[in-house]
Amino acid sequence: MAIEVEASWRAMKAREMLRTRAEGHGRPMISTDFKDHRIVAVGNRIYYDRNWRFFTDFLLFHMKDVLGRGWGTKMGAQGDTHPLFKWLRQMNHAAQKYKAPEGDMLVACGEGVAIAVFRFAYALYLIAHHDQIPPTLIRRLRQPNEFLSAVVETIAFATFALAGAKLEMGETQKGAGPEGEFRATSIRSGRTYDVEAKRKNGWSSQVDIANPDFRRELTIWLERKLRDASSKRLTNPVFWFELSIPNVEEMQQTEALQLLLRTALREAEERILIDGERPGPAYVFITSHGFLAGGDASCLYMLEGFHIPMHVNGEQVEIELAMDERDRDRDVLWIFDCIRKVQMIPHRFDGQPDDLISPDHEPIVRLRVGQRLEVTTSDQQFVKGLVIDVLSNGPNATIRLMEEATGKQRIVQLPLTEKEQKAAAVLGDAVFGNPDQHELISEKDPLGFYDFFLKVYANTPREKLLEFISNHLESAAYSKLSTEALRIRVCREWTKSALAQAAFRPPSDGAADDGTTAG
């Protein structure tokens, strides 16, 4: 019975991992079927309809409800005077090219305009689900000349919601003190950040990284926005700057653009003074969404520091300093990681990632921890039992079964379908109900070892931490640290040991408490 409960618990953890991959780390989607209707809860409101087959169907309905159907009818009669209605018309044209055989529209068609509509609609949903959409933001979104800038604020707001931050809209009252667009409180550290979001409203020069006029225009705009944002003297500021370049496709062009932006930031650090003084430090998110400039679906995301040294681009730095910076920057690195990893637009009400669902809406993965399985082994023995664990290895999966007849555990091998292999390659063994697989640590990110150890030892008792450090030359001094400081020190010593071993292979969770000493 204990094994069955543990298997069920691990499968539940794996499902939550997959849900956060699809929906982020904020409030989960709340939805159910009732009497032929789909019911969706958004914050404190309940919506229902019998025609919503996909979550994206609901997003369009919710977007229109937020902006106001009376306003929509009036503005729609004016044609394309508002950018949103131009998007909707273009998306309807694009949708005609992407019809499934049974007539369903494939919402993930890849068209820039479709991405624009659904990213905006999803951002509105996230804000409403975590907080309330401020009337000031809705008024700005309704104004044709303010819409695109307000969309950037909406996307930035929603990104912090995806990461689970507690949100509060700023700039709500004229005449109030300087504020950012919104305030975000980290669920990880409890630290509060003021976020200032601005968009580049068009380019007067030809958008080409090799064009001197474009480089000059970009550099001047970035410095001006840094100066304006710094002059507000915000608390723990985060600056979010949207470039709106129509397309950033070729890797070589992207790298050249990133280098130009970093150089401009460093030069601005030297030149900008506020009332004769160097401005305070800030984190800088730089984004570029092609769809905000009438371009394609390509995106650029960067995270840099303004008067905050962030050695994230391959610079050589002493390992203790690098780990100090990692701990200092965890909140914003978490936000940045969510931007890159969280699926931008969930399509299903059950929170299943798209990688687990076939085009005909059937599950791709057949095998899961906690299910009953009947299998014929390679030596032609028939085995029936409970799946305890699943580990994939390319075309095959190693399965640990508890036989129903004997209660004994057996290891069997099963081939995986090509679709299962692809799903596991993208999402890991969580697709099979195994939540314990860790991400590979890139050689370009040696601090990945540090992150790994912090995760492994997150709940290790103080006595075991002291045991790990017992053979270290500084063990007496380390034993006087608080438990959390001791945990960090142990993880740092493990990281140094790992980096010193060319052929190091991280231990599993189970090996973390085997009594091996660090240092």
Measured distance CA(291)–CA(17) in Å, rounded: 30
pLDDT > 80? residue 381: no
The pLDDT tens digits of the residues spanning 92-119 come to: 877 776 654 444 544 444 567 888 898 8
Does residue 268 sit in the same domain as residue 412? no
Asked whether residue 397 falls in the same domain as residue 283, the answer is no
Edge-to-edge strand list for the sheet holding 382-393 = 372-376, 382-393, 396-403, 409-415
Which residues lie below 8 Å from residue 409, measured CB to CB, with a gap of 6+?
388, 400, 401, 402, 403
Does residue 358 belong to any structural domain of this protein? Answer: no
Please tell me the predicted confidence (pLDDT) of residue 377. 65
Report the distance separating Cα 157 and Cα 426, nearest Å: 27
Rg (CA), the chain: 26
The model's pTM is 0.80
Q: Could you tell me which residue, 142 or 351, shows the higher pLDDT? A: 142
Tokens coding 451: 């992150």
Residue 133, domain extent: 39-341
Residue 313: strand, helix, or coil: coil
- The pLDDT value recorded for residue 247 is 80
Q: Which long-range contacts (CB under 8 A, 24 or more apart) does 405-412 make?
A: 410/383, 410/385, 412/375, 412/377, 412/383
| Bigger pLDDT: 384 vs 511 | 384
428 and 487 share one domain: no
H-type alpha helices, 167-279: 212-230, 251-271
| Number of H-type helices and E-type strands within the chain | 16, 13
The phi, psi pair for 31, rounded to 5°, reads: -155, 150
Pick from 402, 432, 462: which residue ends a domain?
432
Are 394 and 11 within 8 A, CB to CB? no
Query: What's the mean pLDDT in 276-300?
Result: 89
- Which residue type occupies 122? Y
For residues 294 and 154, membership in a common domain is answered with yes
Other beta carbons within 10 angstroms of residue 404's beta carbon come to 12
Q: Provide φ and ψ at 111, rounded to 5°.
A: -65, 140
Q: Which two tokens stand for residue 212?
A: 């001197």
Token pair of 318 as six digits: 């002493």
Of residues 175 and 394, the one with the higher pLDDT is 394
* Residue 377 or residue 80, greater confidence: 80
Average pLDDT rounded to a whole number, residues 501-515: 42
| 157-195 pLDDT tens trace | 888 888 888 888 765 444 445 678 889 999 888 999 999
Q: Counting Cβ atoms within 10 Å, is residue 442 exposed (0-12), middle (13-18) or buried (19+)?
A: exposed
Instruction: Give the pLDDT band of residue 480 (cuts 50, 70, 90).
Output: very high
Question: How far is residue 489's CA from residue 345's CA, in Å, rounded to a whole number?
Answer: 39
Residue 311 and residue 223 share a domain = yes
Here the CATH number for the domain that contains residue 421 is 2.30.30
pLDDT for residue 269: 95
Overall average pLDDT of the 118-130 stretch = 89
Q: At what angle do helices 212-230 and 251-271 cross, to 10 degrees?
A: 50
Give me the sign of the Cα torsion angle 68, 69, 74, 76.
positive
pLDDT the model gives residue 103: 45
Query: Would you say residue 373 has pLDDT above 60?
Result: yes
Residue 265 resides in a domain = yes
- Cβ density class 63-98: b for 16+ within 10 Å, e for less: bbebbeeeebeebeeeeeebbbbbbbebbeebbeee
Do 256 and 132 share a domain, yes or no? yes
**Which residue from 309, 221, 315 is spatially nearest to 268, judged by alpha carbons?**
221
Residue-level pLDDT at 374: 82
Name the domain count of the chain: 3
Q: Which of 416, 417, 383 is nearest to 400 (CA)?
A: 383
Q: Let me know whether 10 and 140 are in one domain.
A: no
Q: Are residues 180 and 222 in the same domain?
A: yes
Q: Where residue 427 falls among pLDDT bands split at 50, 70, 90?
A: confident
Tell me which of 405, 432, 459 is where a domain ends: 432
Q: Considering the domain boundaries, does residue 258 fall inside one?
A: yes
Q: What would the pLDDT profile of 22-42 be if each residue is shown by its tens digit?
A: 676 777 888 898 888 999 999
> Per-residue confidence at 260, pLDDT binned at 50, 70, 90?
very high
Which ranges of 163-250 would DSSP assign to H, the alpha helix? 212-230
**517 pLDDT tier (thresholds 50, 70, 90):** very low
Which amino acid appears at position 461 of this protein?
P
Per the rule left: phi > 0, alpha: psi between -120 and 50, beta: everything else, 371 is beta
- Round the average pLDDT of the chain to a whole number and report it: 83
Most confident of 21-35, 216-230, 320-334, 350-364: 216-230
- Asked if residue 30 belongs to a domain, the reply is no
Q: Assess whether 385 and 271 both reside in one domain.
A: no
Spatial separation of the C-alpha atoms in residues 515 and 292, rounded to whole Å: 55
Q: Is the pLDDT of residue 123 over 70?
A: yes
**31 in any annotated domain:** no
Q: Note whether 322 and 196 are same-domain residues.
A: yes
Per-residue confidence (pLDDT) for residue 177, from 0 to 100: 52
**183 within some domain:** yes
Same-domain pairing of 374 and 334:
no
What whole-number percentage of the chain has pLDDT above 70?
85
Q: Count of alpha carbons within 13 Å of 74, Cβ hemisphere only? A: 7
Longest C-alpha distance within the chain, in Å?
Answer: 82
Q: Are residues 256 and 293 in the same domain?
A: yes
Whether 228 maps to a domain, the answer reads yes
Out of 175-189, 271-285, 457-471, the most confident range is: 271-285
Residue 501 covered by a domain: yes
Q: Which of 341, 356, 387 is the last residue of a domain?
A: 341
